[in-house]
Structure 1
Amino acid sequence: MSEGDSRRKIGAQVTAKACHVVHLSECARRYGALRTTKVVVGTVVEVNNTRKAPNNRVSTFITADFDIGGGSVKRSTLNIRSVKLFKPDQSTVPSSPAAPIPAVDNADTDLAVPEQEEGEAVLQETSPDEELEFPAQPMMEIGIAAGEQVAGPTAQVATQVWGVEDASFVMAHETKWYADEQATLIDINGSVQSKQFGINTPIGDLLGPDSDIDGKYSRLQYFLLMFQPDQLSAMCQLTNVQLAQQNKHCMSTGELLRFFGILILATKFEFSSRSQLWSTTAPSKYIPAPAFGKTGMSRQRFDDLWRNIRWSNQCPERPEGMSSHTFRWQLVDDFVERYNNHRANTFKPSHLICVDESMSRWYGQGGEWINHGLPNYVAIDRKPENGCEIQNAACGCSGIMLRLKVVKGKTAAEDDGDYNEQLLHGTKILKELVLPWWWTDRIVCADSYFSSVGTAMELQRHGLRFIGVVKTATKQYQMRYLSTLELNQRGERRGLVMRDVDTNYSTLLAFVWMDRDRRYFVSSASSLDAGKPYVRYRWRQIDQSPDADPERLEIIIPQPKAAELYYSACGMIDRHNRSRQDTLMLERKLGTTNWLTRVNLSIFGMIVVDTWLAYSLCTGIGRANGREEKQKDFYTALAEELVDNQYDNVGSRRVFVEANLDNDSPALSRTTGEPRSGLYAHLTPTKKRRKNKDGSFSSNRLQGRCLVCSKKTTYVCSVCKDEETPHSREPWVCYTTKGKLCYANHMATCHGA
């Protein structure tokens, strides 16, 4: 190397590849697809010559301050072989004024759908048969620049239809994407009205956020709201058929609920065999014995139900033409179908819907290659568990599951008859998961498994919005252009819009946003306007002195409204999965070698988690001072209420009531068998007692709020009490003392008296 090399001079300008100056991951965040080819300019601050001892060769190292963009300067020391002298080229020299665009003879150009004509600015066209070098400059520099004078009919088209700035576009599979910064700041397809979730009760109430602060509904009642009632009766009927074949006693609905309670209660203990749960001998002097016999169900009875429980109906014999896999999946199908119908009829989701997948933990035998074990075994590296995959949709605000679809494999999909539908597989699945909410203008948030431009357009045809992350399904998506844009700071974003040629309105938004890495989105809702920044707290070693303590810093990252909306909902199903697998732990504590039991228990676990979410959001438990209740404590309390349920006793006489008493006997109540105060309509004291903290009942009567004046009382209407159902509440009415007219108003309003 000659001594006159200009690169050796202090203050000289040199260039080097960005990947040699900063880490490759930082280059990927800033420069995207140009991470290995981007060249940065620096100023030499130091030159060192180093002689290596073995061969006595001299190496020259140049230290320079490189401008990596966005005002950031990085000092780096590189071998002189990785550094070149900076030479200004024509791209860095101010260009001369643009020559006028030749006029086009056809002055009657159709302005609604502008075609590419002479002089029209086309940024880039992606062709599957041709590889093009994509420029890294901003889009407006490639097309017609803002304020540039353009002559001829092309200027009229640009000005009258889209404006000068909007005439720049890029092509992706015959789809035009326009660079319009102002359009990206306006909500695509208009704003979406915010909605709160709601749960319809059998008595006509609508439960929503903080609507049950007084705790009118118990945990058991919330469970019955989440668990489909027709599933309870179907399970009793199907299980009793199995029990009758073995000469076992039939199971009632109350006993089934007690069985559910014992399943949840078993997750609170450590055991190697289920028989230990019924042991009355303590395993340690510091650990009490489980003694599950106190639940009212013996170990033998529990084992009988465990072996014979049925969740869905299966044909006695496989029909001709049905595959073995489809026939075996019938043991799950009815449960899933009833679950979906129940949620569609009784639950109203918020304006956001999250779509993702869950895993039912299974490490036994299975697969399409053998008619034994799980019919379709799924193992995905990025998933913490292997087993049965269940695709699902959930409310984006509450996290409550809305709809399930079991992944049955290719064989079962072909039996369904829609395997070869001309849609992307993710789009087809997504349409099925959000089917009950078509034409409701809700926003669906999904990950890259479902996301594509085709998905967003297909949901638009069915009255739904969409926001999703794009990774591999890039058909009609301008990934090539967005991946070459240079972003310098976290929170920066750039976008393109797709326009409707008839209405000239923006219908889709494609944008890239820089966080820890670059993330690409397609959206038919919201905009790139500044949203609420999100905050991260991270430990950083600010003081580099020895033994210095790290500091906890607050990192604030700007994000667009579209990204804010997406990330507020996209993690709901993952949170639901963690609650089911790591907090409830049904799948870990209750081992089984029967795939049917495992899959159905996983769906049952989803219902239990939904019960917790509904109860905590409606009652405010966990947010109100003095009323905190952890998720694990809720499961324990729910198990207690399930075990102690009076489902079989509600609406029937007590055991000690004589059989020959008439239903209208003035001596006893027709529902509880307790003494009553008279015949026909009258006020009677409630037969319920207050419950002590230890679970016992006191001698004081229970109080409730009057249906008319909402004041406390211990009296109920006898007519309403005689007509009560398992889901009814106590018909509280004030007594006639002190001139109160609550009873008279109640009789006139409710009973026409």
Structure 2
Amino acid sequence: MPRISKHLAPNVRVSITPLYLRRSGGIEALNGIIDPNTPGLCFYGTTGNEVVGSGNRKRFEVRLDALPDRTFVFDGGCLKFRGERSNEGSDGEDPDLLEDAVEEEMEEEDEPSEDEIDLCWEAGQQTTDVRLSNPDEAFNGRCSVRIPRGSSPARYFVSFLPMEHIDSVVIPAINLHAVTVMTDWVPVTLPEYLTWIALFIIMTTTLIPDRKAYWYKGDFAFKPVINFSTWMTMERFDAINKMHIFVVPDGTAHGYDKLYQLRAFIDAYNEKLKEVVIPGKYLCVDESMNQWLGHGMPNLKKIPRKPHSIGQEWKTVADVNTCCIIRLDVTGDTLSKKFDDVHPKTIATVFRLVEPWFSSGRTVIADSWFGSPAMVRALKDVGLFSIMQVKKKRYWPRGMPMEDMVGSLGEEVGDVKVVKSRIDSVFIASLRDKKPKCVIANAGSTTAGNTVSRWIDGQMHTFTSPMVFEEYEVNKGAVDTANNRRDNLPSFHDVMKSYNWEIRCLAFFLAVAEANAFSAYKYVEGEGAPHHFEFRWRLAQSLLDYAKLMRDGSLFDSPHLRSRTSTGRHEITSLGKLPSGDYRRLRCIICHKRTQNSCLCSSGKGICRACYTRHLSDSSS
């Protein structure tokens, strides 16, 4: 029961919601007069004498304006104080004042001050898509993934990781810190680091309670296909896990920035994602959770509505064609970030996510956490269109029409209401579906689209949905798909056990890269792409081979690591350079002379130009 207002007394104005009136049995008396399920409805009345209640609870006699001939007794917690009774009032107010009172209450709830009311709206359909009327301003292409077709799963995976940053910053930091803690520390190398990651990937495909079994130790009967001892000792594996950091620990930096360990890695990670995936027409903005139940994480959040409700929240943007996450922004940050000083927090967050595609004419799809008139107009100012869901929480977002866009819908399923801005191309549309929906956009149209059937309250309802709702529904789930691919199977956070929250962040970054690799592989390779579990197993094996070739010096820094199965594509290419800067040279597989060249189909084997024609002839025969 709510707390009793201290202002409640006899002969004051109060209101009560249908919920409490229904408990008293008075709601039946209003049948045929008012729909008690009307959103925002409340009943006004005047208190009478105070009645002695159980305990210390106050109870009052109340005469409602809608039922002046009846007196009810309500607990004080059911009543909301509305002010002293006016001397000009009477118990028998004009019945029309009930409707005025309801509208007044809705206005007070929706719009707390007059300066939040935008009067520049008019009713009318949005029949023209501004992207079609101004094609030069809109982007209509599909996504492009900068990974050659036929590449191995390992090539896809490392393409989504900031390998240069890992090699030049992360690994040196691990070594610098480890030698101060462990006197017998052997420096980690990049091939060893990739081997360490590959072994974790194998763990996600074969979960074993006894970790020693991966190294064929202990008494556990089941053994994995690959003996980890072939690649790394258990002691070395655990030591890297224990010593892993992103930058050398700095107490001064930690004093003013609790996330200093992640800063540079996040920037490098985002730059790498931007280079690999060129997004298509739609950018989907949403949230991703990095689950964590331990202690120490500085920006830990609890969001009950999420499947993994406790952890680190990230705002993310994904390409709709591939469902690859292409940019991340961490939340709960105490430091001011870009755009924070010129825009509200929500707009600044979205700006950081979509900044690489300013002025590109792409369309941003987002849910109600982001949707508002200010957001749509701010994105249009930087050359992006928007279709976003909008909801009334306690209030509608600032700038919405005075009329409730959902409350004013008719009761018939499929009823549509549209208002347009008088000053620009922004419009708001609401639809009576199984649940009422409302979107705000400056792209798309409200022209009738496909026919939709819904089973509601034991009946089948058929109606036509406006095209803007269809466009939103089709494209809104890209981030959710990426999150599901990251979490539905056992993932890195299930096997990278640690009390260190930075390791959990590393698991999150690796899981995003693995999910992106699978999504990109399906998109690029097309027909014949394996399912996710099979892809992950192939990824682990190819990453071990990748690390072995790198360790043996048979792989150059920026490889086009091909699949073991020939793709049928032939092209003479360079073998690249060694870390020393010298050109890599191998013996030709035909004439055995040293050469700097290879063919795309040969998995990094040497083929000289003189033997290239013979190689083509042998391949075709």
The two structures have a TM-score, normalised by structure 2, of 0.70
1:177 aligned residue: 121
Instruction: Mark the CA change 1:34 to 1:442 in structure 2 (over 3 Å): closer, same or farther.
Output: farther
Aligned partners of 1:715, 1:217: CA distance in 2, in Å?
A: 24
User: Which of the numbers 226, 241, 244 marks the counterpart of 1:309?
Assistant: 244
The structure-2 alpha-carbon separation of the partners of 1:732 and 1:175, relative to structure 1 and needing over 3 Å to count, comes to farther
The aligned residue for residue 465 of structure 1 is 385
Work out whether residues 343 and 403 of structure 1, in 8 Å CA contact, stay in contact via their aligned partners in 2.
yes
Deviation at 1:228, TM superposition (A): 2.1
Among candidates 498, 522, 530, match of residue 629 of structure 1: 530
* Aligned twin of 1:550: none
Aligned to 1:116: none
Alignment of 1:10-49 (within 5 A): 16=32, 19=35, 24=37
The alignment status of 1:256 with 2:157, answered yes or no, reads no
How far does the alpha carbon of each residue in 1:138-189 deviate from its partner, in whole angstroms, 9 at most, with x for none? xxxxxxxxxxxxxxxxxxxxxxxxxxxxxxxxx97244111223xx121145
CA contact (8 A) 2:367 2:389 kept: yes
* Residue of structure 1 equivalent to 2:323: 399
Q: Residue 197 of structure 1 aligns with which residue?
A: 143
Q: Give the aligned residue type for 2:486.
A: R
Where in structure 2 are the equivalents of 1:66-77 lying within 5 Å?
A: none
Q: Residue in 1 aligned with 2:297?
A: 374
* Cα 1:418–1:315 shift into 2, 3 Å: farther
Q: 1:644 to 1:17 in 2, by over 3 A?
A: farther
Cα deviation 1:394-453 (Å, max 9, x = unaligned): 1122111111111134xx235x4865x463321121111111110001111111211110
**Counterparts of 1:133 and 1:325 in 2: how far apart (Å)?**
39
- Deviation, 1:262, is 0.8
Which of 268, 274, 282 is matched with 1:352 structurally? 282
Question: What corresponds to 2:153 in structure 1?
Answer: 219
CA drift of 1:235 comes to 2.5
130 and 516 in structure 1: CA distance in 2 versus 1, 3 angstrom threshold: closer
Are 2:598 and 2:608, in contact at CA under 8 Å, matched by a contact in 1? no
Q: CA deviation at 1:578?
A: 1.8
How far off its partner does 1:345 sit?
A: 2.9
Map 1:721-740 → 2, pairs under 5 A? 721=597
Equivalent position SS for 1:558: strand
Alpha carbons of structure 1 residues 374 and 454: separation in structure 2 relative to 1, 3 Å = same
Give the alignment partner of residue 291 of structure 2, picking from 357, 361, 364: 361
Distance (Å, rounded) in 1 between the aligned partners of 2:506 and 2:265: 8
Counterpart residue type for residue 397 of structure 1 = N
Aligned-residue offset at 1:522: 0.8
Indicate the residue corresponding to 1:498 in structure 2. Answer: 421
Counterpart of 1:525 (choices 419, 432, 443) is 443
More divergent stretch after superposition (516-525 vs 268-277): 268-277
When residues 289 and 223 of structure 1 are mapped into structure 2, their CA distance, relative to the original with a 3 A threshold, is closer
Write the deviation string for residues 74-126 of structure 1: whole angstroms up to 9, x where unpaired: xxxxxxxxxxxxxxx9xxxxxxxxxxxxxxxxxxxxxxxxxxxxxxxxxxxx9
Contact 2:413 2:432 in 1 (8 A): yes
- Work out whether 1:384 is the aligned partner of 2:321: no
Number of equivalent positions? 499
Return the offset for 1:456. Answer: 0.6
> How big is the shift at 1:714?
8.3
For residue 522 of structure 1, give the secondary structure of its aligned residue in structure 2: strand
Q: Indicate the structure (1 or 2) with the bigger Cα radius of gyration.
A: 1
Q: How does 1:712-727 map to 2 (within 5 A)?
A: 719-721=595-597
Q: Does 1:337 align with 2:267?
A: yes
Give the secondary structure class of the aligned counterpart of 1:267: helix
* Offset at residue 276 of structure 1 (A): 3.6
Q: Which amino acid aligns with 2:235?
A: Q
Greater RCO structure (CA 8 Å; 6+ sep): 2
1:151: which partner in 2?
none
Asked whether the 8 Å contact 1:280–1:290 carries over to 2, the reply is no
Compute the displacement of 1:221 (Å).
Answer: 1.0
| Alpha-carbon distance in structure 2 between the residues aligned to 1:199 and 1:638 | 18
Name the structure 2 match of 1:598: 504
Deviation at 1:333, TM superposition (A): 1.3
**Pairing 1:435-446 to 2, within 5 Å after superposition:** 435-446=355-366
**How far apart, CA to CA, are the structure 1 residues paired with 2:205 and 2:357?**
38
Q: Does the alignment pair 1:324 with 2:255?
A: yes
Alignment match, 2:351: 431
Q: Tell me, in whole angstroms, the C-alpha distance in 1 between the residues paired with 2:531 and 2:225.
A: 22
Report if aligned partners of 1:707, 1:732 keep a CA contact under 8 Å in 2.
Answer: no
Structural mapping, 1:664-675, within 5 Å: none
Are residue 561 (structure 1) and residue 467 (structure 2) matched? yes
- The answer to whether the 8 Å contact 2:430/2:436 transfers is yes
Aligned 8 A contact 2:194 2:547 in 1: no
Mapped to 1, the partners of 2:534 and 2:477 lie a distance apart of 24
Number of the residue aligned with 2:17: none
Conserved in 2, the CA contact under 8 Å of 1:278 and 1:290? no
Q: Hey, what's the Cα distance between the residues in 1 that align with 2:120 and 2:229?
A: 70
Q: Which residue of 2 aligns with 1:114?
A: none
Asked whether the equivalents of residues 389 and 406 of structure 1 are also in contact (C-alpha less than 8 Å), the reply is yes
Does residue 511 of structure 1 match 2:429?
A: yes
Q: Which runs of 5+ in 2 are unaligned?
A: 1-29, 45-95, 97-102, 573-587
**Offset of residue 739 of structure 1:** 12
Shift, 1:718, TM fit: 6.5
Distance 1:460 1:605 in 2: 33
**Residue aligning to 1:269:** 206
Letter in 2 for 1:329: L
TM-score (norm 1): 0.59
CA distance in 2, matches of 1:282, 1:318: 47
How large is the Cα RMSD of the aligned pairs?
Answer: 4.3
User: Any idea what the Cα deviations from partners look like across 1:674-724, whole Å, max 9, x if unmatched?
Assistant: xxxxxxxxxxxxxx99969xxxxxxxxx7954338xxxx986996442799
- State the Cα deviation string for residues 166-223 of structure 1 (Å, max 9, x = none): xxxxx97244111223xx121145464422111224xxxxx6xxxx3xxx21111111
CA contact (8 A) 2:417 2:431 kept: yes
Q: Equivalent residue for 2:399? A: 476
Percent identity over paired residues: 20
Q: CA deviation at 1:509?
A: 0.8
- Aligned residue in 2 for 1:81: none
C-alpha displacement of 1:348: 0.6
Q: Summarize the Cα distance change of 1:565–1:722 in structure 2 as closer, same or farther, 3 Å threshold.
A: closer
Q: Secondary structure of the residue that 2:300 maps to in structure 1?
A: coil
Q: Which amino acid aligns with 1:238?
A: A
Contact 2:599 2:605 in 1 (8 A): no
C-alpha separation in 2, matches of 1:493 and 1:478: 16
Instruction: Read off the aligned partner of 1:217 and give its amino acid letter.
Output: S
State the 1:306 CA deviation: 0.6
Deviations 1:310-364 (A, max 9, x none): 3x32463415xxx6361x3111112111011112233211111111111111111
2:571 counterpart residue number? 707
> Residue 644 of structure 1 is aligned with which of 545, 548, 569?
545
Contact 1:34 1:484 (C-alpha < 8 Å) held by counterparts: no
Mapped partners of 2:109, 2:305: distance in 1: 34
Query: Could you say which residue in structure 2 is the equivalent of 1:297?
Result: 232
Structure 2: how far apart are the matches of 1:731 and 1:292?
Answer: 34
Q: Give the Cα separation in 2 of the matches to 1:566 and 1:226.
A: 28
- Cα displacement (A) at 1:305: 1.0
CA offsets, 1:452-498, max 9 Å, x none? 10001111110011111112452111163423433344333221111
Q: Per-residue CA shift, 1:261-304, capped at 9, x if unaligned? A: 111111223334533422346634xx445663354111011011
In structure 2, relative to structure 1, the CA distance for the partners of 1:361 and 1:730 (3 Å cut) is farther
**In 2, Cα distance between equivalents of 1:653 and 1:469:** 52
For 2:434, what is the secondary structure of its paired residue? coil
Residues 396 and 568, structure 1, Cα contact 8 Å, conserved in 2: no
704 and 248 in structure 1: CA distance in 2 versus 1, 3 angstrom threshold: farther
